[in-house]
Amino acid sequence: MTDPLDDHDGRDPDALRDRAGLDPDPRDDQHLLIDDRVLDRIVGYAVEAGMDTTTVLEIGAGTGALTDRLLAVADHVVAIERDSELAAFLRREFVDAIAADRLTVIEGDALDAEWPAYTASVSNLPYGPSSELLFEMLPRGRPAVVLVQREFAERMAAGPGEDEYGRLSVTAGHYAAVTIEEPVPPTAFDPQPAVESAVVRLDPRTPTYEVSDDDRFFDVVRGVFTQRRKTTRNAIRNTTHITGIDDPAAVLDALDEEILDARPGSLAPETFARIARLA
């Protein structure tokens, strides 16, 4: 991978932390990414993929180490930061970029804030709400590079029959092609988390299968996977309160025995879409 930041004299992450006067609190999901090489590569994955960097959304900007590198490749960066002191620091640290209308800092929880229009998202997502944030992000159909827990990344990228395959895999794959770019060790952070992380690239795509109602499709996926150790036949029978299937017998009659005898973890997204259409 070529380095899009080769000529960029980036801000030092440790110096940013010191200037911010921050003592990161892991109990508040504060794990600062301090490895310069990983920070550079995260931006590089977005550039190499040809993502439109006209307006880049960053969720959880922290002390601005990634923000700084995004400003080197993007026309405009929108940084959302829930910590009021860190948001104030970002406004001081990047006052020139704000004055030049190249950076907007939004103070608030990303799950509550109104997201502006953006062309791509590049973020070191907070561990706790990463699932909710991605479920908010994916339907918007914009490419993204995100840093998340490695286990979470593997669940997103898993395919039918793999141990990690589940509701998250089907949901993420419905909206985007998921690529795990690289694992990131705990030593890249301060303080170090107890788990490994991974950089994930999300490239929006249109599903190869037909879904007439997204909500019904996701209800079926959610319901059936609550019974992942049972056969699909029993999972459909037992979860009508989740799936909203009014006539499970009719759905079962329309499905092949091979599907009905299989476990949910072996079903392709196309099969869940078929069940949803039958419902």
Is residue 3 predicted with pLDDT exceeding 90?
A: no
Q: Is 234 annotated as a binding residue?
A: no
Residue 199: phi, psi to the nearest 5? -90, 130
Is residue 181 predicted with pLDDT exceeding 90?
A: yes
CB-based contacts of 37: which residues, under 8 Å, 6+ apart? none
Residue 226: phi, psi to the nearest 5? -70, -15
Give dist(CA 139, CA 171) in Å, integer: 10
pLDDT of residue 23: 86
Is residue 266 predicted with pLDDT exceeding 70?
A: yes
Mean pLDDT over 242-270 rounds to 96
pLDDT of residue 1: 63
Output b/e per residue, 184-222; b: 16+ Cβ within 10 A. Answer: beeebbbeebeeebbbbbbeeeeeebebeeeebbbbbbe
Amino acid, single-letter form, for residue 64: G
Is residue 8 predicted with pLDDT exceeding 80?
A: no
Would you say 143 and 46 are in contact if contact means Cβ atoms under 8 Å apart? yes
Q: What is the mean pLDDT of the chain?
A: 95
pLDDT of residue 190: 92
pLDDT digits (tens, 9 = 90+) for 133-144: 999 999 999 999
* Rg of the chain in Å (alpha carbons): 21
Q: At what angle do helices 167-175 and 150-157 cross, to 10 degrees?
A: 70
Amino acid, single-letter form, for residue 230: K
pLDDT digits (tens, 9 = 90+) for 41-60: 999 999 999 999 999 999 99
Instruction: State yes or no: cis peptide before 191, omega within 30 of 0.
Output: yes
Q: Is 28 annotated as a binding residue?
A: no
Give dist(CA 19, CA 216) in Å, integer: 49
Would you say 72 and 43 are in contact if contact means Cβ atoms under 8 Å apart? yes
Strands (E), 94-170: 103-107, 120-124, 144-149
Would you say 210 and 272 are in contact if contact means Cβ atoms under 8 Å apart? no
Mean pLDDT over 174-184 rounds to 98
pLDDT of residue 28: 78
Local confidence band at 6 (pLDDT 50, 70, 90 cut-offs):
low
Q: What is the largest CA-CA distance in the chain?
A: 66
Q: Is 60 annotated as a binding residue?
A: yes
In the chain, the domains with their CATH numbers are 13-204 (3.40.50.150), 214-278 (1.10.8)
In this prediction the pTM is 0.92
pLDDT of residue 145: 98
Per the listing, tokens 């159909």 go with: 141
Would you say 90 and 62 are in contact if contact means Cβ atoms under 8 Å apart? no
Give dist(CA 58, CA 22) in Å, integer: 20
Share of the chain above pLDDT 90, in %: 91
> What single DSSP character describes residue 138?
G
Give dist(CA 130, CA 169) in Å, integer: 14
Share of the chain above pLDDT 70, in %: 98
Is residue 191 predicted with pLDDT exceeding 70?
A: yes
pLDDT digits (tens, 9 = 90+) for 23-41: 887 777 788 999 999 999 9
Q: Is 33 annotated as a binding residue?
A: yes
Mean pLDDT over 251-267 rounds to 97
